[in-house]
């Protein structure tokens, strides 16, 4: 009798164990932003269709970057898919840390990925991460304030016009700042913005021999212009303002113009959160007169598979699903076209429904104008627009942006900051063997 | 006259203590208030203190998006386990240092404390690699050991301070009555040091509960505690302050309640030996 029970129990246990062994599960590390959280909500549909369970590890951007970098460099194997950006992808791809995303199905239509995105997420022509959403940067401005100032925003303005318009829109008595820009230290915050500003004044980080260029007149012109304009028309304490601080100011009607990520357009035009939702216009990021490059960047949050994962096929299936045209349709059907992940696929911008979204046209134009292989007016040895795709860049640019933030805070002069940036960068690059 | 001065001074001291207390508590109060606002109200300028439409929407969203109980359970196991393990190791160590000191006891104590000065990130890679080898990544057991090691110097120091207040003659008397070393520590020393041990346990439980570097870097899904839960609501590109505040309030609520009920023991333990 006991033997019979024991046999039954053993059989049941074997069934359970077999079932568990067959249930596939993948773990995805990702950032906390609206599009990614929305995707988590639709994961059940992927599981229903494929039988693959998905576990999410959602982290703040900087924590995520540290976490996935530690894991991939030590082959920790904690994640089957990692959400990474354009900075990491070519470096990690070159190191052999990522699984090449070739052999995607015909329905996936890999050629539909915007060329700028595919280029920035590839190494030597091989795609290593699929863009979930992409962004550039552009001008968001208050149409009512612009009109009241008696000015009209061109589609492709110059910095000189932007400065003039900012001064005209500034109304200190009513707490309205003509322009809000990032000044916060950090390579992905104020560092990114001042780098593209430098590009639009003809500056570059390095010459063809990897020699830092902060001692060149273009950098001095760019930084001086930025500081002067922000002193005239920017908010108090802009040295500590990043994306969120400026978004908050703009949504409360305290900025005439804001130049930042194209994804912000959906926030500032959302009447639930923004007090100026129906008074926002869009234009290309500016350039300095006579310079062929504009102050717009290119970025994508993309899904990549770390080499060595035991779930490569399941991970590829998920990436195909999450970055497909069908996923975009799914979100549009449930939440409207303004909420689909932007900036990844050409077909989205050909869709007549999406063309009606007010910021769609300018977003696409900004993305198409950004060329990571050719960031600057002068030749460079690197790829990337608001960053330099070398492992040393994050550390160097963080330090340099701290020096620049000290200028914004009035703690040192432009010349002092540029001299320190030049010396520090030269030292670090020499130590790194460049 | 003297009595009047004393009363006035007492009132002043009380007012000052309340002011400092409120100042320290204000960020927590603000977080709790923000958790009941909409995202638009959370960033309103001038800030809204009490005059806003209170909503529980953020708690509903957080509850729907995250498995709070799993994170909470992991926090309890990790903080509790590391504290208990730490005390088990620290009691004999502190006994030896307090009652059988050697020439090097002070140096050892200082050296132990100096390990707290090492930036954690400096040993991230060695420990991460060790965890991979031992299969401890994303396990509660691994975190219990790491947090115990991190807090062990503080536990030893605190217990050493309490044990030094206990007269050695009492232990000698126990020994003369035939108590073994184990009995001496378990039945004589420990009961006398209960208030000190209790405050040490409480303080270390709080430290382990709040630890964010190792708990974020060594976990993924299975062992992620409440620090990872909060980190999942922080975003540099998007204003989610109300949701972040709701998540933070849910994460600190258990430890806040524990601290509130045990504040007497905490204060007593922390000031033990400070006034002779």
B59 — pLDDT class (breaks 50, 70, 90): very high
Q: Is A79 on the interface with B (CB under 8 A)?
A: yes
CA distances from B244 to A8, A196, A261, B247 (A): 50, 31, 22, 5
- Chain A residue numbers with beta carbons less than 8 Å from the beta carbon of B234 are 32, 60, 63
pLDDT tens for A101-116 read 998 999 999 999 999 9
* CB neighbour class for A387 (10 Å; exposed up to 12, middle 13-18, buried from 19): buried
Q: Is A250 on the interface with B (CB under 8 A)?
A: no
Instruction: Let me know whether A252 and A401 are in one domain.
Output: yes
The minimum CA-CA distance between A148 and chain B, rounded to whole Å, is 24
The minimum CA-CA distance between B11 and chain A, rounded to whole Å, is 40
Find out whether A199 and A296 touch, Cβ atoms under 8 Å. Answer: no
Instruction: Let me know whether A419 and A352 are in one domain.
Output: no
CATH label of the domain that carries residue A353: 3.40.190.10
Single out the residue of A180, A175, A166, A163 nearest to residue A246, CA to CA.
A180
What is the DSSP code (8-state) at residue A98?
B
Is A76–B216 a contact, with Cβ atoms under 8 angstroms apart? no
Single out the residue of A314, A318, A247 nearest to residue A30, CA to CA.
A318
Query: Does A13 score more than 50 pLDDT?
Result: no
Is A57–B231 a contact, with Cβ atoms under 8 angstroms apart? no
Range of the domain at B228: 66-232
Range of the domain at A173: 137-296+391-431
Q: If you average pLDDT over residues A323-346, what whole number do you get?
A: 94
Is A273–B45 a contact, with Cβ atoms under 8 angstroms apart? no
Instruction: Let me know whether A8 and A80 are in one domain.
Output: yes
Cα gap A416→A423, rounded to integer Å: 11
Cα gap B103→A361, rounded to integer Å: 77
The count of CB pairs under 8 A between chains A and B is: 92
Cα gap A223→A204, rounded to integer Å: 13
Is A78–B235 a contact, with Cβ atoms under 8 angstroms apart? no
Instruction: Let me know whether A208 and A265 are in one domain.
Output: yes
Give every CB contact of residue B33 below 8 A, 6+ residues apart in sequence: B49, B50
Write the Ramachandran bin of B135: left for phi over 0, alpha for psi from -120 to 50, otherwise beta.
left
Instruction: Let me know whether A141 and A248 are in one domain.
Output: yes
- Chain A residue numbers with beta carbons less than 8 Å from the beta carbon of B43 are 248, 251-252
A272 — pLDDT class (breaks 50, 70, 90): confident
A20 — pLDDT class (breaks 50, 70, 90): very low
Tally of structural domains, chain A: 2
pLDDT tens for A336-388 read 998 899 999 999 999 999 999 999 999 999 999 999 889 999 999 999 999 99
Cα gap B209→B191, rounded to integer Å: 26
pLDDT tens for B233-266 read 988 888 889 999 999 999 999 998 988 888 877 7
- Report helix angle B194-210 to B263-271, nearest 10: 110
Instruction: Let me know whether A219 and A277 are in one domain.
Output: yes
Residue B210 lies in a domain: yes
CATH label of the domain that carries residue B223: 1.10.3720.10
Single out the residue of A411, A409, A426, A428 nearest to residue A190, CA to CA.
A409
Residue A372 lies in a domain: no
ipTM of the complex: 0.84
CA B192 to chain centre: 23
pTM: 0.86
The minimum CA-CA distance between B34 and chain A, rounded to whole Å, is 15
Query: Does B270 score more than 80 pLDDT?
Result: no
Residue B268 lies in a domain: no
- Structure tokens that stand for A1 in this block: 């009798």
Residue B197 lies in a domain: yes
Residue B214 lies in a domain: yes
């Amino acid at each position: 009798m006991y033997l019979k029970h024991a046999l039954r129990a053993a059989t049941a246990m074997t069934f359970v164990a077999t079932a568990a062994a067959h249930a596939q599960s993948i773990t995805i590390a990702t950032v906390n932003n609206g599009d990614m959280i929305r995707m988590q909500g639709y994961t059940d549909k992927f599981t229903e269709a494929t039988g693959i369970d998905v576990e999410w590890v959602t982290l703040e951007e900087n924590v995520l970057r540290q976490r996935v970098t530690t894991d991939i460099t030590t082959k920790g194997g904690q994640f089957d898919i990692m959400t990474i950006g354009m900075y990491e992808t070519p470096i990690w791809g070159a190191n052999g840390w990522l699984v090449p995303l070739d052999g995607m199905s015909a329905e996936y239509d890999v050629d539909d990925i915007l060329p700028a995105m595919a280029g920035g997420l590839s190494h030597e022509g091989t795609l290593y991460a699929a863009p979930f959403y992409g962004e550039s940067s552009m001008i968001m401005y208050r149409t009512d304030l612009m009109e009241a100032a008696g000015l009209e925003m061109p589609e492709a303005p110059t910095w000189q016009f932007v400065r003039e318009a900012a001064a005209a829109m500034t109304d200190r008595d009513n707490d309205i700042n003509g322009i809000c820009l990032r000044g916060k230290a950090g390579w992905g915050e104020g560092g990114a913005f001042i780098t593209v500003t430098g590009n639009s004044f003809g500056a570059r980080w390095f010459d063809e021999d990897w020699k830092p260029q902060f001692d060149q007149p273009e950098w001095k012109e760019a930084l001086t212009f930025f500081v002067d304009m922000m002193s005239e028309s920017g908010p108090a304490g802009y040295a500590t303002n990043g994306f969120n601080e400026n978004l908050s100011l703009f949504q409360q009607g305290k900025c005439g113009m804001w130049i930042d990520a194209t994804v912000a357009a959906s926030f500032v035009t959302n009447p639930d959160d923004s007090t100026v939702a129906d008074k926002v216009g869009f234009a290309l990021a500016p350039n300095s007169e006579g310079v062929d490059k504009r102050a717009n960047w290119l970025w994508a949050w993309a899904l990549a598979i770390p080499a060595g994962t035991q779930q490569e096929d399941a991970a590829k299936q998920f990436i195909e699903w999450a970055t497909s045209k069908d996923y975009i349709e799914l979100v549009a059907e449930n939440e409207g076209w303004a909420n689909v992940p932007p900036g990844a696929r050409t077909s989205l911008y050909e869709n007549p429904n999406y063309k009606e979204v007010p910021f769609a046209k300018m977003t696409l134009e900004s993305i198409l104008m950004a060329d990571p292989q050719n960031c600057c007016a002068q030749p460079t040895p690197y790829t990337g627009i608001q960053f330099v795709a070398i492992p040393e860049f994050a550390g160097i640019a963080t330090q340099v942006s701290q020096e620049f933030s000290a200028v914004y805070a009035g703690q040192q002069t432009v010349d002092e900051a540029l001299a320190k940036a030049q010396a520090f960068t030269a030292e670090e690059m020499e130590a790194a063997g460049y | 006259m003297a009595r009047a001065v004393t009363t006035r001074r007492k009132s002043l001291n009380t007012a000052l203590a309340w002011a400092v207390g409120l100042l320290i508590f204000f960020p927590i109060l603000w977080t709790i208030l923000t958790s009941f606002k909409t995202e638009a109200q959370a960033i309103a300028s001038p800030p809204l203190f009490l005059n806003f439409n209170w909503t529980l929407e953020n708690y509903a969203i957080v509850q729907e998006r995250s498995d709070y109980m799993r994170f909470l359970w992991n926090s309890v196991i990790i903080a509790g386990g590391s504290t208990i393990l730490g005390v088990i190791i620290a009691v004999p160590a502190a006994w030896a240092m307090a009652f059988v000191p050697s020439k090097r006891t002070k140096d050892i104590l200082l050296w132990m404390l100096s390990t707290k000065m090492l930036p954690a990130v400096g040993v991230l890679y060695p420990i991460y690699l060790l965890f991979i080898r031992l299969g401890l990544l994303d396990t509660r057991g691994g975190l219990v050991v790491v947090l115990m090691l991190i807090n062990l110097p503080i536990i030893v120091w605190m217990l050493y301070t309490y044990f030094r207040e206990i007269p050695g003659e009492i232990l000698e008397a126990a020994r003369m009555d035939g108590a073994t070393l184990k009995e001496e520590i378990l039945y004589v020393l420990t009961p006398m040091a209960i208030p000190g041990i209790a405050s040490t346990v409480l303080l270390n439980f709080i430290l382990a509960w709040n630890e964010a570097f190792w708990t974020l870097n060594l976990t993924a899904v299975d062992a992620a505690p409440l620090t990872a839960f909060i980190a999942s609501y922080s975003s540099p590109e998007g204003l989610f302050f109300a949701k972040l505040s709701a998540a933070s309030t849910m994460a600190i609520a258990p430890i806040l309640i524990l601290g509130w009920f045990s504040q007497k023991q905490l204060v007593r333990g922390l000031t033990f030996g400070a006034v002779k």
